């Protein structure tokens, strides 16, 4: 059974390419998307069944860090992964300190990202 996910990404092109790749390569079904921090927080609150949040840091409005912070009290079976073009050591540290499970570079770490998402699948 695929993981249900919310994708927080402001680029339509990236969403359009990432969603089918997530389904095919990682067994992830995207049930909602958001382009702003507030829309993401609202989607995460409304979609009771989400298991994975995939969050970009730079959004049309607000920051992905706000979304990560808003998810700090999430249940243990809900995972949050940051997928960004800005994975500096400091930004990785901040994301992990706020509760992200992992941080991946969109440009160079997609294979590792998909592999990580596969790891969330129930045996």
Lookup: tokens for 74? 């999430």
Q: Of 79, 41, 80, which is closest to residue 59 (Cα–Cα)?
A: 41
How many whole angstroms separate alpha carbon 74 and alpha carbon 59? 22
Q: Reply yes or no on whether the pLDDT at 10 is more than 80.
A: yes
**Span 55-111, pLDDT tens digits:** 999 999 999 999 999 999 999 999 999 999 999 999 999 999 999 999 999 999 999
pLDDT at 1: 79
CATH of the domain at 93: 3.40.50.2300
Q: Of 63, 60, 103, 53, which is closest to residue 83 (Cα–Cα)?
A: 103
Mean pLDDT, residues 37-65: 96
* pTM of the predicted structure, to 2 decimals: 0.96
Backbone angles phi, psi at 35, to 5 degrees: -110, -15
Question: What is the band of 38 on the pLDDT scale with cuts at 50, 70, 90?
Answer: very high
pLDDT at 121: 86
- Residue at 43 is within a domain: yes
- Residue at 123 is within a domain: no
pLDDT at 122: 63
Which domain, by its residues, includes 60? Answer: 3-118
- Residue at 87 is within a domain: yes
């Amino acid at each position: 059974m695929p993981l249900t996910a919310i994708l927080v990404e402001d680029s339509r092109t990236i969403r359009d390419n990432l969603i089918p790749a997530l389904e095919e390569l990682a067994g992830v079904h995207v049930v909602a998307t958001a382009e702003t921090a507030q829309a993401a927080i609202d989607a995460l609150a409304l979609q009771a069944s989400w298991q994975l949040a995939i969050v970009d840091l730079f959004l049309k409005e607000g920051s992905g860090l706000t979304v990560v912070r808003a998810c700090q009290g999430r249940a243990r079976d809900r995972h949050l992964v940051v997928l960004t073009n800005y994975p500096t050591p400091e930004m990785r540290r901040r994301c992990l300190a706020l509760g992200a499970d992992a941080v991946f570079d969109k440009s160079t770490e997609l294979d590792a990202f998909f592999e990580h998402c596969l790891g969330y699948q129930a045996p």
